Chains A and B, each alone.
Chain A
Amino acid sequence: MLPPFEIHQPSTAAEAAALRARFGESAALYAGGSELLLAMKEGLGGFEHLIDVKTIPGLDAVDVAADGTLTIGAAVTHRTLERSPLARQRFPLLAEMERQVANPRVRSVGTLGGNLCFAEPHSDPPTALLVHGATVVLEGAGGRRRLPLADFIVGPYESALGEDELLTAVEVAAPPPRAASAYVKFGMHERPTVGVAALLVPDARGAVAEARIAVGCVGPVATRLGALETALGGLPLAAVEAGWPAADHAGDDLDAMSDLHGSADYKRAMAGVFVKRALALAARRARAAA
């Protein structure tokens, strides 16, 4: 049973932002409801107003610009992105990640924008989007602004979304030519214990020209592993595919949280295991495509 509330149907982002400004903390943005309604069933939030952003035209679109940048509307479902031919062909990491989110029912209704705004730490999308250096587009009374995703999700269940703003889109720049990627995850429950996204750009001689790795679910927010990315530079892809020994320690310095999904030590150990696997898979794909 849910507590009583009223549903609002704005037809523009500005109207939605104005509703937020008017109702303040008694209002919640509502899209798929796959996080919000479960929290409300637990008596959290106390929202008297749900602002249905799905009634805003265009928020459900996936488009690519002339420069290859992908724009994903905030109300695009996990399922739509999973099956988007654009995503599959040009951003396979995103499609591979979305295919593994929760279950088909959650993917039918849950949206990318809702997922990012909820900022649940045990989540897949931020990890893959960090590897792509994604940007979020926020619209409110003060106009439109853009933030790197890394600055948008600031902590567990905490984002930089202003009180009179809504997230309207996620922008993802095209990966470098010949980039190969992989998303792997592991967990014993519905939500993952660890998720790892890796992207490798090969040079002409079959070595790593650029590496990007992000780990999610282990700590309060998903993070890039900058030192490891640098250390991978110049390594032969064949060696990475065979299992890069240094990856065993990839999780050692992570700010890990003990919870239902594992102790902090366990999660750090699993981060190492799955960073190694993600890199090996990305390296195999890079070599197969060469």
Chain B
Amino acid sequence: MKVTCDRQELLTAFQTAASVVPSRSPKPILQNIKLEVSESGAILLATDLEIGIRIQVAGIQVDVPGSAILPLARFGSILRESSDDTLRLEADGQSTLVRGERSEFKLPSENPQEFPSVADFTEKSYHELPARALKEMIRRTIFATDNESSRYALGGVLLEMGSDKITAVGTDGRRLAKMEVPARSEGGHQSGDSMTIVPTKAMQLIDRALSDGDAEIQIAARANEVLVRSPRVTIYSRLVEGRFPKWRDVFPQRTGSSKVDLTVGPLYSAVRQAAIVTSEESRGVDFSFEPGTLVLSGRVAEVGQSRVELPIAHDGPTIAIMLDPRYLNDFLKVLDAEKIVTIELKDAESAAVCTTDDGYGYVIMPLARER
């Protein structure tokens, strides 16, 4: 293999791929990144066998096609430290030669044939949606997942793919975030009986690897894996095995509850203020929805008390509920300050439901003080 490459382009792609590389692995070759060069272009491949990524590298001039195994730490340092615009790479299967204008590195390398294959996107049926929508969906659900759960598979985001939309759900058993985005189904692609639970780590990678500028993203789910393709990147991930709770049963569908509209910015600020006087052992903040005012009060014996008021458009009876402000903040953090959220409440024992007009829903289970 013999190529000349643009250092900056290669560095960007290399860093994205590097986030997949396992820090410890029984297969040492996985701690490298593979560069595959053909006449048509170059791709970087990395995998930890759970998640895999293929990234196209721009700015490569191919002299001789082939492939090279690039050691993560050393080659990454070379890319970062070098000040040359372009680097020449030569690989013969045993070592890799990196040449700058006034520098030269020779790195021993493993056999490219031994690098496991990284699945490519060959699906004919898939869902298609804009990158921006997919990234928004991930950001709004990923924070609610829980990697520790033993009973349910909560360590990932559940994707339900219908004919014209994708619904993503993340929960840790105490709160649940649900996001619906419109998506076009190609070739009759739908998620079937098996649950498509994409690991949190893969979701983070997808969010990072895609840019808002990317146009349409294709996403395809198989029995135990999911593939995501953008024009530059293909990401493969195994799915989380296990059961996801029946979230539709949990998501309250009720009538006769009170609804209050609030603007995200002021609410976020008020909740953060009230949360100042909470502690790890005593984390509840009392939310009292009174006519015209929302009163947030926190009280912890050795920390102090807080009382924050917020004018609201509520004229029904007073409803009091105690919530963990961190759960509410997680939700408010991913929304724009001008956005309007609707908080729906029934009583102190029932879940609080927050919704926005763009398909986002969030359920928080209340706290109760010792009776």
Genuine A/B complex: no
